Structure 1
Amino acid sequence: MFFAEARVRVFIYGQPVDARKSYDGLYALARNEMKQDPLSGHLFCFINRRANQVKVLYWDRSGPPGCSG
């Protein structure tokens, strides 16, 4: 996947999250806690409590928002 660097921003959630959250849960965090639009094409990063896993929420405009982790 190609991202134009001038257009994509990376948002990092400042608190640890439960790594078992689905993309719906991460979508809600991005929308309600971060006050950002998860359908904007930007990347939203979430780190678990032990800081050994990262989940990235993104939307590539081909369906519902997805997770990479």
Structure 2
Amino acid sequence: MRILVAVASIDFRVGIDGLARICRAQLQVDPCCGWLFVFCNRRRTAVKILTYDGQGFWVCHKRLSQGKFPYWPTDGPIQELQVLLMGADPLKARGVSAWRPVPRGV
């Protein structure tokens, strides 16, 4: 599954049909392709994710209780999406070091 993050903010008053229209007109991608399309509002306080599962559209909407997303990607790896949805800045996030078992007898 591919994930496409819209770098420009959108008007969040639009519903499923409006998001699908944005996919076709601005992103030039068929919204029924099964990809995830991620959108942010102008104030960066909410995100919407649109996808099509073969039978219909799904929309997931997350609105932060307080504050705003400190970062919105303009390009880069999509692994940043999970960090972004948790309200963190992927540029400052640090992963946990890889764990390795201690060899016996050490």
TM-score (norm 2): 0.55
Q: What secondary structure is seen at the aligned counterpart in 2 of 1:26? A: helix
Gaps of 5+ in 1: 1-7
1:60 paired to 2:53: yes
Flag the structure with more relative contact order, 1 or 2, with Cα contacts below 8 A and sequence separation at least 6. 1
Identity, % of aligned positions:
34
User: 1:30 pairs with 16, 23, 29, which one?
Assistant: 23
CA distance in 2: counterparts of 1:31 and 1:43, whole angstroms: 14
Gaps of 5+ in 2: 62-106
CA distance in 2: counterparts of 1:20 and 1:44, whole angstroms: 16
CA-atom RMSD in angstroms? 0.9
CA distance in 2: counterparts of 1:18 and 1:66, whole angstroms: 18
**Alignment partner, residue 16 of structure 1:** 9
* Letter of the 2:58 counterpart: G
* Letter of the 1:66 counterpart: W
Deviating beyond 4 angstroms after TM superposition, the runs of 4 or more aligned structure 1 residues are: none
Aligned residues: 61
TM-score (norm 1): 0.82
